[in-house]
Amino acid sequence: MKVAKFGGTSLANAEQIKKVCDIVLSDSDRKIVVVSAPGKREKTDTKVTDLLIACAEKHLATKDAKAELEAVVKRFKDIADDLKLGNEIIDEIKTDLENRLKLDTSHKEVFMDAMKAAGEDNSAKLVAAYLNSIGKKAQYVSPKDAGLLLSSEFGNAQVLPESFDNLKMLKDIDGIIIFPGFFGYTVEGNVATFPRGGSDITGSIIAAALKVDLYENFTDVDAVYAAHPGLVNNPVAISEITYREMRELSYAGFSVLHEDTLVPVFKAGVPVNIKNTNNPTAPGTKIVLSRDYTPSTHVVGIASDDSFCCIYVSKIMMNREIGFGRKLLQIFEDEGISYEHTPSGVDNISVIFKQNQLKNKDVEQRILYRIKNELNCDDVSIDYGLALILVVGEGMKNTVGTASRATTALANASISLEMINQGSSEVTMMFGVRQSEAHKAVISLYNEFFLKN
Amino acid sequence: MKVAKFGGTSLANAEQIKKVCDIVLSDSDRKIVVVSAPGKREKTDTKVTDLLIACAEKHLATKDAKAELEAVVKRFKDIADDLKLGNEIIDEIKTDLENRLKLDTSHKEVFMDAMKAAGEDNSAKLVAAYLNSIGKKAQYVSPKDAGLLLSSEFGNAQVLPESFDNLKMLKDIDGIIIFPGFFGYTVEGNVATFPRGGSDITGSIIAAALKVDLYENFTDVDAVYAAHPGLVNNPVAISEITYREMRELSYAGFSVLHEDTLVPVFKAGVPVNIKNTNNPTAPGTKIVLSRDYTPSTHVVGIASDDSFCCIYVSKIMMNREIGFGRKLLQIFEDEGISYEHTPSGVDNISVIFKQNQLKNKDVEQRILYRIKNELNCDDVSIDYGLALILVVGEGMKNTVGTASRATTALANASISLEMINQGSSEVTMMFGVRQSEAHKAVISLYNEFFLKN
């Protein structure tokens, strides 16, 4: 059995939906289909989810969102008409949207989540209706009926553990299941959504719950590439990558999958295949537990992420002071700051974190003051505008010479290294550079590991 | 004004003491002389401090340490005879030692410190007596009279802040001051010693208190070398090095100065000159606040230290969990373990520390268990036998290509890198390797940075 998830561009219009259904019908193992809301039909188009957000906000502000509601209905109607589905399904969708607008608005985030989820929910109904219209056995299943329970962190919900047992009921349903992505229900019965892009997460949870053979994630690209196509010309496609490698790349700017997507399938050991709806015969990228590698394929990708800052702390004899590091991190915890790395020397330590967490100059000054005074430090300073560049690949740690190749490539490109961090993760070597040098750094590392072989 | 400190081999016999006095008298700025206890006269000899420890332990065990006391007296008598000082000074030393043996033994560590300090104390009296005997104005000053107050951590005492004011009285003493190193007094009036090798610390404290022009540290080597002579053949001598560089090298196996020595002079900005009693005209090694460097002299030394272990912790989505790092370090703090570094990846972190802190298998198992269960981790493991190799040099961080040269040298020597840590300290790049490869690693880095230029 396979779970196949389709992204927004794969459901943007009738033609795309037909492609999706062709793909689903071409393999009888594709039993569960998770769908996104209709995405952009062309570059300047607006996604249905964004139309829904605009509609909800207009309603909250003026109680009159008729025009915005009509825009959403029109998107669905255009698709239904092109699929020759008749008016019944559109009436159903319109009623659904009107009912959502009548919901209690006293908790804005609860209302917003109910509105945002309408895109996926009605997209799933539409696909099921189309499959039925061409004589195929298919049915929409609501996350509520399937027991997909989420935490009440609206807009950023987490799956509750009991969902995995609940979802096993999907096995007993006959025919193809069309399941809306992106949302579930709280224990109290409210709609709650994952972060944007969260349909990937829905697919992963179902795949894990049912321990299916494969989780197929259909997008609009042929594969995951070894570097971001916006940074490197025609990067090579990755045919096979491990979960761990993919997690590290996702962390640093590889946005093919939502960062949280891989957790459920990784824990359940279900392999993932990233494929292209518009080119379904291409092999795509397989995400697996382990892969074979040779010295020339041990690096799988180069990623980068920027807008980091670094607080540098020095205190002579720091390394003798038991509890120093813990007290330092306590200050960051008190300020709700999630840090990334803490490289340290003999008498000094740096804390690296996303700079947007320093909401204003006061927070920055308070943190620096507390470190200096509570920890009695000699010197405390802050530096903004760092980028982290990741060289990712299984087995790299044990391949003599990878660090040498990487640092030599960076040196040849005259890039000054602010930081090197290798040693915990067995799959990543991390370099800190000035943000202005990040692009050049990615290119030089890509050339070294992908063009030289 | 200069403070000149002389180590144990410089005071091991009459001939050496004459050298010391010649050196002191050759420069009228050498106003304060700090002396160690007489050290080894030749390789198989026993240091006076070790004779004193044996004497004290015998006394504690049997109350009969006559023979051991005689051995100590004989060492001093041999020197006094060769210096033609007559019996008065030896009677004084003998009485002093006998009085120490009569001290209260109910607190073993208090008694031991009083006994250990006798080496330096009587060595200072002897040198002062010799200078007087040749018609020079010199006087022994007791740390008690000078107000050198230490904490009650016997055997590992810390200087109390008020000492720096108290010691200023030394300025008002006429003639040459002979001051015993290694010990001071607690507020209650007990003798307390620094760790072994602590005469260096005494000299540094006095130099800082008086803000002298130079702290001369006379040893039995011509200079500090760019690598340990036991690891590299004829390493080059370092002519100038900064405090920060010296601190990093001291940390990892450069034992020329006790690790704590530089703190007082660094804070007071007093430069240090490491010199050789047996070759006093050699320029030695200057330790300064800042130095000039070129791309070919930006690396000043290569050091290594071994017997580290690494606890590896992985937990998917760890980087999102505010407080994870703090809770992890709390466990180490609870166990009294001082860690060195915590390199981290996206979903994992390692804690590196000296493995002798895991006193037994129970402690190890308890820590692993607590991490796994209290932090709900996916995977926790421990690895022993790591060495840390340090490449130290000011300005290195901003010199493009240093990392490349270092990692390429290591790769050419087929050394697998377990860890790279660069980014906090501006003066050190750190490599973790298997202990069995540490020697090879030091040689390859030394060859790269010192033989290629």
pLDDT (tens digit, 0 to 9) for every residue of chain B, 453 residues total?
Answer: 999 999 999 999 999 999 999 999 999 999 999 999 999 999 999 999 999 999 999 999 999 999 999 999 999 999 999 999 989 999 999 999 999 999 999 999 999 999 999 999 999 999 999 999 999 999 999 999 999 999 999 999 999 999 999 999 999 999 999 999 999 999 999 999 999 889 999 999 999 999 999 999 999 889 999 999 889 999 999 999 999 898 888 876 666 677 788 889 999 999 999 999 999 999 999 999 999 887 778 899 999 999 999 999 998 888 778 889 899 999 999 999 988 888 888 888 999 999 999 988 999 999 999 999 999 998 999 999 999 999 999 878 667 888 999 999 999 999 999 888 887 667 889 999 999 999 999 999 999 999 986
Tell whether A422 and A274 lie within a shared domain. Answer: no
C-alpha distance from B292 to closest chain A C-alpha (Å) = 20
Q: Confirm whether A293 is domain-assigned.
A: no
pLDDT at B129: 96
d(CA A349, CA A343): 6
C-alpha distance from A423 to closest chain B C-alpha (Å) = 4
Identify the closest residue of chain B to A390 by CA–CA distance: B345
Contact B323 A333 (CB under 8 A): yes
B49 is in an annotated binding site: yes
Final residue belonging to a domain, choices A230, A264, A288? A288
Tell whether A281 and A309 lie within a shared domain. Answer: no
- A-facing residues of B in 389-418 (CB < 8 A) are 397-398, 400-401, 403-404, 406-408, 410-412, 414-418
CA atoms within 13 A on the CB side of B118: 31
pLDDT at B255: 67
Q: Confirm whether B289 is domain-assigned.
A: no
Return the amino acid letter for A169.
Answer: M
Identify the closest residue of chain B to A261 by CA–CA distance: B317
Return the amino acid letter for B26.
Answer: S
Among the ranges given (A150-154, A391-395, B412-416), the one the predictor scored with the smallest mean pLDDT: A391-395
pLDDT at A346: 80
User: Which has the closest alpha carbon to B193: B243, B288, B122, B120?
Assistant: B120
Give residue for tokens 């420890």.
Answer: B53
Tell whether B199 and B328 lie within a shared domain. Answer: no
User: Is residue A3 within 8 Å of residue A215, measured between CB atoms?
Assistant: yes
User: Is residue B148 within 8 Å of residue B161, measured between CB atoms?
Assistant: no
Continuous segment of H or E residues that includes residue B147? none
Classify residue A417 by its DSSP letter: P
Tell whether A169 and A232 lie within a shared domain. Answer: yes
| Chain B interface includes A161 (CB < 8 A) | no
B86 is in an annotated binding site: no
**Nearest Cβ partner for B411 among A342, A400, A411:** A400
Continuous segment of H or E residues that includes residue B59? helix B48-62
**Nearest Cβ partner for B420 among A320, A401, A423:** A423
Reduced to 3 states, what is the DSSP secondary structure of residue A297?
coil
Q: Confirm whether B219 is domain-assigned.
A: no
B7 is in an annotated binding site: yes
Binding site residues of A, as ranges? Answer: 5-8, 49, 120, 219-220, 225
| Chain B interface includes A151 (CB < 8 A) | no
Tell whether A113 and A44 lie within a shared domain. Answer: yes
Identify the closest residue of chain B to A398 by CA–CA distance: B416
Checking DSSP bridges between strand A428-434 and strand B214-219, what pairing results, if any? unpaired
Tell whether A73 and A197 lie within a shared domain. Answer: yes
pLDDT at B398: 67
Q: Confirm whether A120 is domain-assigned.
A: yes
Helix residue spans in B134-274 (DSSP H): 143-146, 162-166, 199-209, 243-251, 262-268
d(CA A51, CA A70): 10
Q: Indicate which CATH number applies to the domain containing A175.
A: 3.40.1160.10
**Nearest Cβ partner for B266 among A251, A316, A411:** A316
**Nearest Cβ partner for B263 among A260, A317, A329:** A317
Q: Number of folded domains in chain A? A: 2
Reduced to 3 states, what is the DSSP secondary structure of residue B178?
strand
Of B194, B319, B326, which to mutate for an interface test with A (greatest number of A Cβ within 10 Å)? Answer: B326
**Nearest Cβ partner for A326 among B330, B343, B348:** B330
| Chain A interface includes B346 (CB < 8 A) | yes
Tell whether A233 and A379 lie within a shared domain. Answer: no
Classify residue A247 by its DSSP letter: H
Taking one residue from A and the other from B, the number of pairs with CB-CB distance under 8 angstroms is 188
User: Is residue A118 within 8 Å of residue A155, measured between CB atoms?
Assistant: no
Mean pLDDT of A275-289: 94
pLDDT at A421: 86
- Give the Cα-Cα-Cα angle B41, B43, B47 (nearest 5 degrees): 55
Q: Confirm whether B113 is domain-assigned.
A: yes
Final residue belonging to a domain, choices A238, A260, A288? A288
Checking DSSP bridges between strand A176-180 and strand A30-35, what pairing results, if any? parallel
d(CA B248, CA B242): 10
pLDDT at A246 over 80: yes
By percentage, how much of chain A surpasses pLDDT 90? 79
Contact B325 A322 (CB under 8 A): no
Tell whether B305 and B443 lie within a shared domain. Answer: yes
Identify the closest residue of chain B to A386 by CA–CA distance: B423
Q: Which residues of B touch A410 (CB under 8 A)?
A: 403-404
Give residue for tokens 């493009």.
Answer: B400
C-alpha distance from A417 to closest chain B C-alpha (Å) = 7
pLDDT at A16 over 70: yes
d(CA B343, CA B340): 10
Tell whether A328 and A418 lie within a shared domain. Answer: yes
Mean pLDDT of A137-165: 97
Angle between helices B66-82 and B87-101 (to 10 degrees): 160
Return the amino acid letter for B154.
Answer: F
pLDDT at B401: 87
Q: Confirm whether A160 is domain-assigned.
A: yes
d(CA B176, CA B25): 9
| Chain A interface includes B161 (CB < 8 A) | no
d(CA B217, CA B7): 8
Check residues A253 and A3 and name the one with the higher pLDDT: A3
pLDDT at A422: 84
pLDDT at A178: 98
User: Is residue B194 within 8 Å of residue B148, measured between CB atoms?
Assistant: no
- Tokens matching residue B68: 């051991």
Tell whether A306 and A279 lie within a shared domain. Answer: no
Burial of A269 (0-12, 13-18, 19+ CB in 10 A): exposed
pLDDT at B410: 96
Reduced to 3 states, what is the DSSP secondary structure of residue B14?
helix
Continuous segment of H or E residues that includes residue A163? helix A162-166
User: Is residue B389 within 8 Å of residue B445, measured between CB atoms?
Assistant: yes
Q: Which domain holds residue B32?
A: 8-213+255-261
User: Which has the closest alpha carbon to A8: A48, A62, A44, A43?
Assistant: A48
pLDDT at A99 over 90: yes
Q: Confirm whether B229 is domain-assigned.
A: no
What DSSP line would sit under A357-376, residue for residue?
G--SHHHHHHHHHHHHHHTT
Burial of B99 (0-12, 13-18, 19+ CB in 10 A): exposed
User: Which has the closest alpha carbon to A201: A179, A232, A223?
Assistant: A179
pLDDT at A254: 67
Helix residue spans in A234-359 (DSSP H): 243-251, 262-268, 324-334
| Helix-, strand-, coil-residue percentages of chain B, each rounded to 5 | 40, 20, 35
Q: What is the CA radius of gyration of chain A?
A: 24
Tell me the pLDDT tens digit for each residue of B272-297. Answer: 999 999 999 999 999 999 998 877 78
d(CA B430, CA B403): 10
Confidence of residue A453 (pLDDT cuts 50, 70, 90): low
pLDDT at A259 over 80: no
Contact B407 A403 (CB under 8 A): yes
Tell whether B209 and B329 lie within a shared domain. Answer: no
d(CA A217, CA A227): 19
Q: Which residues of B touch A263 (CB under 8 A)?
A: 316-317
**Nearest Cβ partner for A266 among B316, B341, B423:** B316
- Tokens matching residue A318: 């720091």
Mean pLDDT of A63-81: 95
Tell whether A143 and A222 lie within a shared domain. Answer: yes
d(CA A188, CA A110): 11
pLDDT at B160: 97
Confidence of residue A64 (pLDDT cuts 50, 70, 90): very high
Average pLDDT over chain A, rounded to whole? Answer: 93
Q: Confirm whether A106 is domain-assigned.
A: yes
Q: Indicate which CATH number applies to the domain containing A404.
A: 3.30.2130.10
